[in-house]
Structure 1
Amino acid sequence: MPIDPTQPYDDQNIFAKILRGEIPAKTVYDDDYAVAFHDIAPQAPHHILVIPRGRYVSWDDFSANASDEEIAGFVRAVGAVARAAGVVESGYRLLANVGLDAGQEVPHLHVHIFAGQPLGPMLSR
């Protein structure tokens, strides 16, 4: 069920539990600013989620409230994950759903990296 990003951060969301080590994840990247792991229901041959370590519900929340250091660290992490996955040359798509209309399901900012096949149009027509 999509979430309302204007609601307070929920410490019981699945990504918060992954960050605390309460739920296992197939981690591919981990630093002071971000953690990246394979999606449990991949929508492309490569489907990796990148999440900031901070308590941010959405891109709007993150861009308004994160420090410059957190923002830079997170953006750099997304690029590092794409490079490490070997998808830069063939191409990849970044997706961050925000709010009800976009279908955001987990109330913790996350960026999807999709790659490994032609991904088609960005939106259904």
Structure 2
Amino acid sequence: MSHSSSNRLQVLNSHISSSMASEKDAALAAVPSDSPTIFDKIINKEIPANVVYEDDKVLAFRDIAPQAPTHILLIPKVRDGLTGLSKAEEKHCEILGHLLYTAKVVAKQEGLEDGYRVVINDGPKGCQSVYHIHVHLLGGRQMNWPPG
């Protein structure tokens, strides 16, 4: 990573950490819109990310605030109105299936043979903080139940 990219990532991390006391605060403050999200900026390479998988439809990268030893976000490269699962339409079935299949592929790539958790947060009460649908892949430790 270049010095410039490293500085931008540090600034981004600092901004996110200082402006969001908790994920719930972030979710309650977030407003769904068609404006570019941080994920759009990552897709467009405007913000660096630790990418672990990429194909023509999906980008997977490590979460900057991991909640487990392995915490990867999987996002569609084209939002197409799919800001959250509650906004899904029949036209989104293919990308939703591809996101879940890709989660399985990445889990295997990451050595999560003993199990993992897949999470999709939706809306303010679901603690969604970025309104661009995304799948959390969590693993590398024992998951607890109930989850939250």
TM-score band, normalised by the shorter chain? 0.7 to 0.9
Q: Post-superposition shift, 1:67?
A: 4.4
TM-score, normalisation: structure 1: 0.85
Q: Post-superposition shift, 1:60?
A: 2.5
Q: Percent identity?
A: 37
Contact 2:99 2:135 in 1 (8 A): no
* Structure 2 residue aligned with 1:22: 46
Comparing 100-109 with 77-86, greater Cα deviation is found at 77-86
Moved over 4 A (4+): none
TM-score, normalisation: structure 2: 0.73
1:77 pairs, out of 97, 102, 106, with 102
Larger RCO of the pair (alpha carbons < 8 Å, separation 6+): 1
* Structure 1 residue aligned with 2:83: 57
Correspondence 1:30-109 to 2 at 5 A:
30-55=54-79, 56-61=82-87, 63-64=88-89, 66-87=91-112, 89-109=113-133
Tell me, what secondary structure is at the counterpart of 2:72? strand
Comparing 65-74 with 33-42, greater Cα deviation is found at 65-74
Q: Post-superposition shift, 1:69?
A: 3.7
Q: Which whole-Å CA distance do the structure 1 matches of 2:48 and 2:146 have between them?
A: 31
Name stretches of at least 5 consecutive residues in structure 2 with no aligned partner.
Answer: 1-25
May I ask how many residue pairs the two structures share in their alignment? 119
Change (3 A) 1:119 1:108: same
- CA RMSD in angstroms comes to 1.7
Tell me, what secondary structure is at the counterpart of 1:28? strand
Tell me, what secondary structure is at the counterpart of 2:89? helix
